[in-house]
């Protein structure tokens, strides 16, 4: 059925937008058609009421694509026992002036059939697109807890931003916050791509008041080479914020361990940026069996307090969080985090603010700040036995540069790599170089 006719709810509209974003991230020159079927006898026979059908048209016939238009059909099924439809497969068909040239179906053996076949690189892109569509539909927005909001934005413009937003999944994670209390389940948002299972998986942890979208440029560079995860830490991003919880470093660590136990279950390379670096150090010290290697990107944790915590002194409460929510304030902070302030684009601003609409954002931020955030981990750093790589922007104006050498001096055997012409966010400002360093170190 035409996608435009299936967009009867926020859930389906969000999913259709995600599919469009995923396809255009792979093929930026494609123009979407949400109504590929005409209502006439010749085409009515092909309409499946349990599918979402989209057409993508290109400027002309392409030798690599072996087509000028691609029809994408997402097959859904509801067996009557379920409250929502589930995905059973994705089919893509390439068309030229003669008709169908090739077909790919994930319901069968994921092989291309037809008179022609796209170039190998296009085949890989189409299969990757199909995998991401499967992942996007695995968790229905309709089944999200009331304490989470659907993830959708029509304001993102960068292909990597649109693609990563579309890849976000959620999973209920059983979390033990105290030995004196029963475990609780927390709906947790993350991104995952399985590439090379022979190397330790990578897990990326974002910074203060941020989300997995912080890794929109780094994630795809890592994910095409190695199994990669990115997680929204407890109290941040799009992960559920139960109103009864206290949000502090210990709770973040307990939730992170629950996530690792549930989904990863083997030693990993833990990558932490800014406050995520402090969370990574704290986790590696407490659970060394879970961390094979550690990567710190302009990391907090050498001195006490959350990054930017001066904006959230506890007595300010509501007013402080409203101040931090203000677009001009966020834009100013973003610009100061880059060596090149022009990178603080409108797309970057939307990425950094999208999670502000999640229920409990203000209360969780106040709770975390009132806890004192991460204390100085300096006294514990000599206990860290995990091989550690320190990546640091030479123009970091948020934390400065002296702390990088302090980390290197305190962590035995650690490597320090300076990144020229780069501020506090190497994963956004120099993603290619950052990915190369992480991949070389993590293998």
Of 232, 299, 396, 427, catalytic: 396
- Token couple for 421: 């012409």
Which residues, 6+ apart, have CB-to-CB distance to 58 below 8 Å?
A: 27, 29, 30, 31, 65, 67, 68, 69, 70
Does residue 274 carry a catalytic annotation? yes
Of 192, 355, 424, 427, catalytic: 424
Of 51, 210, 211, 274, catalytic: 274
User: Is the Cα dihedral 290, 296, 302, 304 positive or negative?
Assistant: negative
Contact 292, 284 (CB under 8 A): no
What's the angle, vertex CA 220, arms to CA 110 and CA 138, rounded to 5?
50
Q: Write the secondary structure of the chain as one string of H (helix), E (strand) and C (coil).
A: CEHHHHCCCHHHHHHHHHHHHHHHHHCCCCEEECCCCCCCHHHHCCCCCCEEEEEEEEEEEECCCCEEEEEEEEEEECCCCCCCCEEEEEEEEEEECCEEEEEEECCCCCCEEECCCCCHHHHHHHHHHHHHHHHHHHCCHHHCCCCCCCCCCCCCCCHHHHHHHHHCEEEEEEECCCCCCCCEEEEEEEEEECCCCCCCCEEEECCCCCCHHHHCCCHHHHHCCCCEEEECCCCCCCCCCCCCCCCCHHHHHHHHHHHHHHHHCCCEEEEEECHHHHHHHHHHHHCHHHEEEEEEECCCCCCCCCCCHHHHCHHHHHHHHHHHHCHHHHHHHHHHHCCCHHHCCHHHHHHHHHHHHCCCHHHHHHHHHHCCCCCCCHHHHHHCCCCEEEEEECCCCCCCCHHHHHHHHHCCCCEEEEECCCCCCHHHHCHHHHHHHHHHHHC
Does residue 33 carry a catalytic annotation? no
Contact 427, 218 (CB under 8 A): yes
**CA–CA separation, 95 vs 9, rounded Å?**
30
Find where tokens 């859930």 sit: 11
Residues labelled catalytic: 274, 396, 424
């Amino acid at each position: 059925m035409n996608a435009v006719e299936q967009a009867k709810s926020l859930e389906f509209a969000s999913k259709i937008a995600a599919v469009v974003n995923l396809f255009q991230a792979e093929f930026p020159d494609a123009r979407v058609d949400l109504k590929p079927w005409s209502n006439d006898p010749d085409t009515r026979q092909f309409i499946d009421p349990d599918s979402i059908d989209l057409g993508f048209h290109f400027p002309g016939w392409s030798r690599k694509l072996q087509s000028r238009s691609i029809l994408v059909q997402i097959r859904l099924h509801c067996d009557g026992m379920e409250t929502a439809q589930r995905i059973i497969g994705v089919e893509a068909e390439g068309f030229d002036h003669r008709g169908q040239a090739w077909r790919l179906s994930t319901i069968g053996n994921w092989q291309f059939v037809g008179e022609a076949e796209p170039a190998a690189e296009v085949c890989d892109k189409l299969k990757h697109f199909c995998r991401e569509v499967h992942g996007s539909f695995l968790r229905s927005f309709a089944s999200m807890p009331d304490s989470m909001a659907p993830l959708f934005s029509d304001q993102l413009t960068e292909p990597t931003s649109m693609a990563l937003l579309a890849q976000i999944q959620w999973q209920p994670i059983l979390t033990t916050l105290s030995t004196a209390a029963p475990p609780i389940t927390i709906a947790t948002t993350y991104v995952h791509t399985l590439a090379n299972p022979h190397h330790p998986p990578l897990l990326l942890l974002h910074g203060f008041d941020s989300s997995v979208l912080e890794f929109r440029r780094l994630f795809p560079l890592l994910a095409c080479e190695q199994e990669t995860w990115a997680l929204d830490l407890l109290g941040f991003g799009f992960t559920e914020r139960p109103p009864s919880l206290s949000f502090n470093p210990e709770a973040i660590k307990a939730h992170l361990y629950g996530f690792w136990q549930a989904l990863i279950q083997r030693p990993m390379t833990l990558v932490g940026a800014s406050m995520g670096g402090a969370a990574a150090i704290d986790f590696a010290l407490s659970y060394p069996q879970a961390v094979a290697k550690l990567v710190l990107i302009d990391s907090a944790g050498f001195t006490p307090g959350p990054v930017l915590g001066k904006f959230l002194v506890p007595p300010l409460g509501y007013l402080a969080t409203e101040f931090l929510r203000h677009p001009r304030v966020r834009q100013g902070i973003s610009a100061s985090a880059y060596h090149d302030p022009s990178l603080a684009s409108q797309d970057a601003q939307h990425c950094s603010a999208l999670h502000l609409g999640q229920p409990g954002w203000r209360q969780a931020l106040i709770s975390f700040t009132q806890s004192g955030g991460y204390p100085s981990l300096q006294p514990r750093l000599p206990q860290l036995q995990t091989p550690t790589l320190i990546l640091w922007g030479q123009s970091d104006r948020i934390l400065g540069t002296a702390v990088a050498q302090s980390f290197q001096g305190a962590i035995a055997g650690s490597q320090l790599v300076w990144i020229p012409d780069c501020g506090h966010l190497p994963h956004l400002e120099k993603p290619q170089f950052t990915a190369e360093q992480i991949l070389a170190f993590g293998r």
